[in-house]
Amino acid sequence: MQVQALQTTSAGSTASCRSRARTVRVCATATVSAPAPTAQPGCKDVCNVAVLGASGYTGAEVVRLSALHPHLKITALTGDRQAGKAFSEVFPHLVTAADVPSLVKIDDVDFAGVDAVFCCLPHATTQKIIKALPEHLKIVDLSADFRLADVNTYAEWYGGEHAAPELQKEAVYGLTELYRDKIRPARLVANPGCYPTSVQLPLYPLLKSKLILSDDIIIDSKSGVSGAGRSAKEANLYVEIAEGINAYGVTKHRHMPEIEQGLSEAAGKPVTISFTPHLMPISRGMQSTMYVKLAEGASVDDLRAKLIESYANEPFVRVLDKGVVPHTRHVRGSNFCLMNVFPDRLSGRAIVIAVIDNLVKGASGQAMQNLNLVMGYPETTSLMQLAMFP
């Protein structure tokens, strides 16, 4: 049973971080494992941040979200091909942002004064660049490079030897709600992929509690186009995408092993899934429709109850009222994940639906959430904007 409770994430207090943290009203239900609502003692009042690879959509989102963050100060934005340009030339919607530096080459950044880095670079490149970064930096990496614990799996799916296997060992997988305690002390956080976020948030607790079977999970996912990035490809032109939908990467999508890694951990044994992503004519938004088999004796209500219990205290995850269907448009621009469980007409089965904004909870928002953890700020800082509809 969900009991709404008002909870402010910045208690009035004397610590320097707290005094600048803004008051946000979080809607949550009281349970045990809530994220710490206040800043950690000793956290930095100003965190100087560099965004590497800032000319893509995830980089722009980091900048957009930073504008509501009282502690982050962006001191460097890199983009090797666009170096020298004002950021507003590359992202004119941010022309009204204050204090945004021009783009520079990554080699021209002086990391001495930098505290933390969002790494928004393409995979493979990322490994080499992170390897060369100074040790004092906190890093949230939005690429796929450090998400797969097994470097052989990485090599198999990404087509090349991993260049930094020792860093891979150090990296912490950043699905915040599931690995909060490991993320907090981490130096390098591997921010999850968008599909894996939308799948693991609902299925992890269900597998962990053995309410669903692990050998018959069918995932039909639908994603907005921004997930494909900003590089100019014929297939992603407006005219190619509008007024149509299609499956892609059938059985071959690179998020597959990442999902299987997480679900295997939850199930305590290797899990293989059926996963078919679809491309939608929307800019943002992702839905995973998951067809699962109930364990002996488990009911649809048990699944809902487990998810409600698991996320009762989480500010960004919400199990909707019974029968209410999540829409991607209801999380647009926000860091929320909405989910629900439905009975299937096939007996012994259930349908789980989860939606996120692929650029926020599926990328830059979760990255910010992780940086907040790592830096000791209240986890929700700069992330409590509500969804924008229409």
76 vs 22: CA distance, rounded Å: 24
CA quadruple 133, 134, 135, 138: dihedral, nearest 10: -70
Pick between residue 32 and residue 347 the one whose CB is nearest to a second copy. Answer: 347
Pick between residue 90 and residue 121 the one whose CB is nearest to a second copy. Answer: 90
Pick between residue 127 and residue 214 the one whose CB is nearest to a second copy. Answer: 214
338 interacts with a second copy by CB under 8 A: yes
Task: Give the list of residues 6+ apart from residue 237 with CB closer than 8 angstroms, or none.
Answer: none
Among the listed residues 146, 179, 195, 275, the single contact to a second copy using CB under 8 A: 275
Q: How far is the CB of 44 from a second copy (least distance, A)?
A: 16
The footprint of a second copy on this chain (CB under 8 A) covers a number of residues equal to: 100
Q: How far is the CB of 239 from a second copy (least distance, A)?
A: 4
311 interacts with a second copy by CB under 8 A: no
Scan for tokens 């891979």, then name that residue. 168
Is 119 tagged catalytic?
no
Q: How far is the CB of 86 from a second copy (least distance, A)?
A: 9
> Which residues, numbered 18-57, are part of the site for a second copy (CB under 8 A)?
20, 22-27, 57
Helices 151-158 & 255-267, crossing angle to 10 degrees?
A: 150
* Cβ neighbours, 10 Å, residue 236: 15
333 vs 330: CA distance, rounded Å: 9
Q: How far is the CB of 163 from a second copy (least distance, A)?
A: 28
Among the listed residues 80, 265, 309, 344, the single contact to a second copy using CB under 8 A: 344
Which string of b and e fits 287-326 if b means at least 16 CB within 10 Å? bbbbbbbbbeebebebbbebbbebbbbbbbbbbbeeeeeb
16 interacts with a second copy by CB under 8 A: no
Q: Give the angle 328-126-69 at the CA atoms, nearest 5°.
A: 55
Pick between residue 156 and residue 248 the one whose CB is nearest to a second copy. Answer: 248
Residue of 17, 119, 120, 194 with catalytic role:
194
Which of the ranges 66-74, 123-131, 162-170, 206-214 carries the binding residues for a second copy, by CB under 8 A? 66-74
Pick between residue 139 and residue 356 the one whose CB is nearest to a second copy. Answer: 356
48: left (phi over 0), alpha (psi -120 to 50) or beta: beta
Residue 58 φ/ψ, nearest 5 degrees: -70, -35
Q: Residues 204-243 vs a second copy: string with x where CB under 8 A?
A: -----------xx-x-x-x-xxx---xxxxx-xxxxxxxx
State CA 66 to chain mean position distance.
16
Q: Residues 243-262 vs a second copy: string with x where CB under 8 A?
A: xxxxxx-xx----x------
Q: How far is the CB of 114 from a second copy (least distance, A)?
A: 19
Among the listed residues 16, 102, 299, 385, the single contact to a second copy using CB under 8 A: 385
Element housing 128 (H / E): helix 125-131
Pick between residue 328 and residue 366 the one whose CB is nearest to a second copy. Answer: 328
Q: How far is the CB of 208 from a second copy (least distance, A)?
A: 21
Q: End-to-end alpha-carbon separation of the chain, Å?
A: 30
Q: Give the angle 158-49-258 at the CA atoms, nearest 5°.
A: 25
> Which residues, numbered 69-108, are part of the site for a second copy (CB under 8 A)?
70, 91-99
Q: How far is the CB of 3 from a second copy (least distance, A)?
A: 12
Strand partners, 343: 350
Pick between residue 117 and residue 384 the one whose CB is nearest to a second copy. Answer: 384
> Which residues, numbered 116-175, are part of the site for a second copy (CB under 8 A)?
none
> Which residues, numbered 289-308, are part of the site for a second copy (CB under 8 A)?
289, 291
Q: How far is the CB of 170 from a second copy (least distance, A)?
A: 30
Pick between residue 120 and residue 133 the one whose CB is nearest to a second copy. Answer: 120
370 vs 367: CA distance, rounded Å: 5
List Cβ<8 Å contacts ≥24 apart for 229-234.
229/56, 229/57, 230/55, 230/56, 230/57
Q: What residues act catalytically?
A: 194
